[in-house]
Amino acid sequence: MAIQLGDIAPDFSAESTEGTIRFHDWIGDKWAVLFSHPKDFTPVCTTELGMVARIKSEFDKRNTKVLAVSVDDVPSHKGWIGDIEETQSTRMNFPILADPDRKVSNLYGMIHPNANDTLTVRSVFFIDPRKKVRAMITYPASTGRNFDEILRVIDSLQLTDHHQVATPANWKNGEDCVIVPSLQDPEELKKKFPKGYKALRPYLRMTPQPNR
Ligand code: BEZ
């Protein structure tokens, strides 16, 4: 069955460019982003891995580990890393999982046969420290991902885990949030949102981001 939000992320053990990865142990008490690439030595994937390497410190700030997966083997990945570093002006600083037998790709439903029956699509799984799948994004091979959006999703998940807010359309870290409709008690509202809020409608209440 397809993975759904709230499911425990399937665990696995697989080889990577940084040795064997036992996925749940590797995540430890951090957040994780697992993202698939159709194939080594392909142009869009090369730019994506270079981008993630360049902004890795942004993932670190968010207590989040990143793990790429591609259906080729470790020697192929290692050869490709040379190209990524040279063409994308970066040093690789996170592991690429080898998946020549499609074990991980199949476990996570990353192969969509009507798109391509042997290569993965561009899947992204956001996994929390309890190993729950908290968000998923899927793009076709022809569309490179926007990693600012991936950081934005992590920001939203981490914020809304700790405050009774949700993040509106195109929200970015630091911008106003909406108060969850279930919170109605006036005393609680005062306590949780000391900076106040603006009710545009009874169900649409905007408040400054509570942890800022
Ligand atoms: C790419 O990464 O450039 C790519 C991979 C598979 C199909 C099309 C493009």
Mutate to test the pocket of ligand 1, among 41, 45, 110, 111 (most ligand atoms within 8 A of CB): 45
Among 67, 66, 65, 69, which Cα is nearest to 98's? Answer: 69
pLDDT at position 19 is: 98
Give pLDDT tens digits for 111-120: 999 999 999 9
What is the 43 CA–ligand 1 centroid distance (Å)? 6
List all residues whose CB is within 6 A of at least one atom of ligand 1: 38-39, 42-45, 141-142
pLDDT at position 1 is: 80
The amino acid at residue 18 is E
Q: Average pLDDT of 97-105?
A: 97
**Atom number in ligand 1 closest to CA 43:** 3
What is the 38 CA–ligand 1 centroid distance (Å)? 6
Give pLDDT tens digits for 60-74: 999 999 999 999 999
Active site amino acids: 45
Q: Average pLDDT of 124-142?
A: 98
What does DSSP say about strands 64-70 and 96-98: parallel, antiparallel, or unpaired? parallel
- State the Cα–Cα distance between residues 2 and 188, nearest whole angstrom: 39
**204-207 β-sheet, strand order:** 165-166, 177-179, 204-207, 198-201
**Atom number in ligand 1 closest to CA 144:** 2
Separation of CA 195 from chain center: 31
Is pLDDT above 90 for 163? yes
- HEC string of the chain equals CCCCCCCECCCCEEEECCEEEEHHHHHCCCEEEEEEECCCCCHHHHHHHHHHHHCHHHHHHCCEEEEEEECCCHHHHHHHHHHHHHHHCCCCCCCEEECCCCHHHHHCCCCCCCCCCCCCCEEEEEECCCCEEEEEEEECCCCCCCHHHHHHHHHHHHHHHHCCEECCCCCCCCCCEEECCCCCCHHHHHHHCCCCCEEEECCEEEECCCCC
Mean pLDDT of the chain: 97
Give pLDDT tens digits for 168-208: 999 999 999 999 999 999 999 999 999 999 999 999 999 99
